Amino acid sequence: MNLTDKTLAGMIDQTLLKPFATLDQFEAFCRQADEYGFKMVAINSAMTHICKDFLKDSQVLVGAAIGFPLGQTTIEDKVFETRNAILEGADEIDYVVNLVQLKSGNVDYVKREMEEIVAVCRRYGKTSKVIFENCYLTDEEKETLCRIALEVRPDFIKTSTGFGTGSATVEDVRLMKRMVGDEIGIKAAGGMRTLDDALAMIEAGATRLGTSAGVAIVDEFCARMAK
């Protein structure tokens, strides 16, 4: 891929998911996202309408995190939260899989959850992303989720919330890419702080990057290109 500062920024979902940020911080965050041309701002769903208003004259999308960060709400709760976030202005939805059901072998439950959330996104023409939280999964469980995704066809599968015991790894991105090929996008999220981190994920197959360090990454890219 022939990267420029603009194409790199356009792959980044810049995140502000801290529960103690102020409205002034969110406004500054959205203003900076617009300045850099990030693809999306990733926020908790309660902030959707506020960030949508801050970005009303911007091309930057608003993405709501659903069932975040544990995924331990019912399908009905997640479907309601998804629909509500979309009605409040969300352009993209990142939801967390119910790992208790996955690890208990209830694949039908996990598939139904994915189907129902993706269906809501499709109905409204919004982008859907499924968060695996790979740090808690075996490779077999990751592969199971990839196979379900190939049946359901969300827009993206995603490595992590950034709130677990581990974040995105190159090995996980490669596994996900090997399983889904070009059929589904792959979002690497969490733990990326430097340009080299980001480039490694892109090389492994990631087509989106979720990070709170987007500004530093793009600035580092520009500085390196200027040499």
- d(CA 163, CA 177) in angstroms, rounded, equals 23
DSSP string, 136-161: G--HHHHHHHHHHHHHH--SEEES--
Helices and strands, counts by H and E, the chain: 10, 8
Query: Could you give the residue numbers annotated as active site?
Result: 94, 158, 187
DSSP 207: S
- How many CB atoms sit inside 10 A of residue 135's CB? 18
Check: CB of residue 176 under 8 Å from CB of residue 154.
Answer: no
Tokens (6 digits) for 103: 């690890």
The type of residue at 191 is G
- d(CA 169, CA 159) in angstroms, rounded, equals 8
> How far, in Å, are 64, 97, 157 from residue 104 at the CA level?
27, 13, 21
Check: CB of residue 207 under 8 Å from CB of residue 31.
Answer: no
